[in-house]
Amino acid sequence: MAEQDRFDVIVVGAGNAAMCAALAAREEGARVLVLEKAPAEEKGGNSAFSGGLFRFAHQGPEDVLPLVPDTTPAEVARMDMGSYSAETYSDDLIRLSEGLADPELIRVLVDESYDTMRWMQTRLGVQWELNRQSPRQEDRDSFLPGNELTAWGGGAGLMQQLFHVAEGNGVDVVCSASVIGLLTDDRGGVCGVRVKTGGEIQSLDAGAVVLGSGGFEASPEMRARYLGPGWDRMKVRGSRYNTGEVLDRAREIGALTSGAWSRSDSGPGDMDSPEVGVMAMGNLYARNSSRLGIMVNADGRRFADEGADFHSTGGVELGYAIWSQPDGAAYQIFDQQAAPMVEGPYGAGGRPVTAHTWEELAGKLQLDPDALENTVAEYNGAVEDGVLNLNVKDGKGATGLNPPKSNWAMRLDQPPFVAYRVTTTILFSYGGLAVDPKARVLDGAYEPISGLFATGEAIGGLYYRHFSTGSGLMLGSVFGRIAGANAAKHAE
């Protein structure tokens, strides 16, 4: 990479969104350069930490199974899988954003989701697999609608596959290369970047630039500034390189922002998580099974409706509830009916505290034993009879309590009891740059900034109150594909 080199398209970042953009631009014949801030061994962004889940619209197994052609007849026979229509997907995004999400962006995300899955499979060679976190009851594999597939090997596998394709297609990925500025021409259009590599600063010209540089969640300063006091102390679940400076550089040349800058995807994580994510651990610090038990705070009291929603669409509420407790801490407590059903990461990275009586558990957790016993007795007394069904909101609640537990309530009466200490960890920020359906970054007059495109976490406008799991990667791929193709055309 020399200063006199000119690329058709420069892509900033090397996560899923950026790599989809780079590969789509390459497909159009563009000469593409990817600049990634992280060193080679940490490239891949939050995408590499993720569970690799993709949420896409489909009509049921007839659409899903072609994406996983190796599925055996035995697997198909024990599968309960419905459809996830475009309408349901849109409704979910509208509901979870409390009606604030940009309807045009929703339309593009939803309408292009299945086609983009097929594009990744057939053109990029990405392999998918059935979601292994799906609830299993009575030997049936049930798939929550929209949660059917992950990339083969999860987020790490996804990124391995995309880097492999990039290499084979002549897309250069330069690591340890921080983009520190955007070059503009005399009409305000973007015509390149300033990049710092190995202590040297270079200006690189390009026909178009795509920003796939993620959000600002790994910057304590920006967290405190936008998310609120105390958020600078929160642990980061994913990459430590998503520090938001590219968003600032874009704003400095007039880019408009969009989405909920004061809200983030933050959910229950292990209290022993490191301050920032460790790539080899991926998402193993996730503690997403609150709905199977109860959560208590340092006073031994419940403070949230653990069964209000599935983790995929309710985990953020629980994350925010935990963060508002003393020390931003809580215990998730399960008995032996629930413990075998907790998600995989508990087994891989968790440090359970186990006890045969509530008094013993309280002692080990340094909680007031009377308070804990009262909480459990009150909860057990309120659990309604009925049939547990983890695949739907089963309405089997613990009612008359404050707060109630609305679904999936099981009495905690089968020792040994198991507790996990949790806190809130941030996955990603919701605020980003405003783009149009062509992934062009808009200025304050809602006009596209010539030569500037964005995708993935770098764009805002989809998430406000809550995220729907799987739509982060899908958004990056859909808009990455659009951004890359349009950037290549712009550069012609």
Shorter beta-carbon distance to ligand FAD: residue 11 or 295? 11
Binding-site member from 67, 179, 182, 227 for ligand FAD (CB under 6 A): 179
C-alpha to C-alpha distance for 94 and 112, rounded to whole angstroms: 17
Instruction: Please tell me whether residue 36 binds ligand FAD under the rule CB under 6 A.
Output: yes
Q: Which stretch binds ligand FAD (CB under 6 A): 48-56, 295-303, 307-315, 390-398?
A: 48-56
Binding-site member from 50, 288, 332, 375 for ligand FAD (CB under 6 A): 50
In our burial notation (b when 16+ CB lie closer than 10 A, e otherwise), range 393-431 reads bbebbbeebeebbbbbbbebeeeebbbbbbbbbbbbbbb
Shorter beta-carbon distance to ligand FAD: residue 171 or 427? 427
> Nearest-CA neighbor of 333 among 297, 368, 387, 309?
297
Q: What residues numbered 137-176 form the site for ligand FAD, per CB under 6 A?
A: none
Shorter beta-carbon distance to ligand FAD: residue 322 or 333? 322
State the minimum distance, in angstroms, from the CB of residue 297 to ligand FAD.
24
State the minimum distance, in angstroms, from the CB of residue 241 to ligand FAD.
3
For residue 310, give both structure tokens: 């599935």
Binding-site member from 24, 51, 141, 302 for ligand FAD (CB under 6 A): 51
Instruction: Please tell me whether residue 255 binds ligand FAD under the rule CB under 6 A.
Output: no
Q: Which stretch binds ligand FAD (CB under 6 A): 11-19, 123-131, 379-387, 388-396?
A: 11-19
Compose the 424-453 pattern: x for residues touching ligand FAD by CB under 6 A, - for all others. Answer: ---xx-------------------------
Over the chain, what HEC string results?
CCCCCEEEEEEECCCHHHHHHHHHHHHCCCCEEEECCCCHHHCCHHHHHCCCEECCCECCHHHHHHHCCCCCHHHHHCEECCCECHHHHHHHHHHHCCCCCCHHHHHHHHHHHHHHHHHHHHCCCCCEEECCCCCEECCEEECCCCCCEEECCHHHHHHHHHHHHHHHCCCEEECCEEEEEEEECCCCCEEEEEEEECCEEEEEEEEEEEECCCCCCCCHHHHHHHHCCCHHHCEECCCCCCCCHHHHHHHHCCECEECCCCCEEEEEEECCCCCCCCHHHCCCCECCCHHHCEEECCCCCCCCCCCCCCHHHHHHHHHHHHHCCHHHEEEEEECCCCHHHCCHHHHHHCCCEEECCHHHHHHHHCCCHHHHHHHHHHHHHHECCCCCCCCCCCCCCECCCCCCECCCCCCCCCCCEEEEEEEEEEEEECCEECECCCCEEEECCCCEEEEEEECHHHECCCCCCCCCCCHHHHHHHHHHHHHHHHHHHHHC
State the minimum distance, in angstroms, from the CB of residue 106 to ligand FAD.
15
Binding-site member from 23, 470, 481, 488 for ligand FAD (CB under 6 A): 470
Shorter beta-carbon distance to ligand FAD: residue 45 or 484? 45
Q: Which stretch binds ligand FAD (CB under 6 A): 46-54, 56-64, 113-121, 387-395?
A: 46-54
State the minimum distance, in angstroms, from the CB of residue 151 to ligand FAD.
9
Instruction: Please tell me whether residue 241 binds ligand FAD under the rule CB under 6 A.
Output: yes
Instruction: Please tell me whether residue 16 binds ligand FAD under the rule CB under 6 A.
Output: yes
Instruction: Please tell me whether residue 345 binds ligand FAD under the rule CB under 6 A.
Output: no
Judged by CB under 6 A, the number of residues near ligand FAD is 44
Q: Which stretch binds ligand FAD (CB under 6 A): 82-90, 197-205, 238-246, 436-444?
A: 238-246
C-alpha to C-alpha distance for 277 and 263, rounded to whole angstroms: 20
State the minimum distance, in angstroms, from the CB of residue 427 to ligand FAD.
4
Instruction: Please tell me whether residue 289 binds ligand FAD under the rule CB under 6 A.
Output: no
Binding-site member from 242, 273, 289, 424 for ligand FAD (CB under 6 A): 242
Binding-site member from 238, 259, 293, 328 for ligand FAD (CB under 6 A): 238
Q: Which stretch binds ligand FAD (CB under 6 A): 65-73, 75-83, 236-244, 328-336?
A: 236-244
Find the angle CA(316)-CA(311)-CA(313) to the nearest 5 degrees: 65
State the minimum distance, in angstroms, from the CB of residue 54 to ligand FAD.
6
Instruction: Please tell me whether residue 18 binds ligand FAD under the rule CB under 6 A.
Output: yes
Binding-site member from 53, 166, 247, 341 for ligand FAD (CB under 6 A): 53
Binding residues vs ligand FAD (CB under 6 A): 12-18, 35-38, 43, 45-47, 49-53, 178-179, 212-214, 237-239, 241-242, 245-246, 283, 427-428, 456-458, 469-473, 476
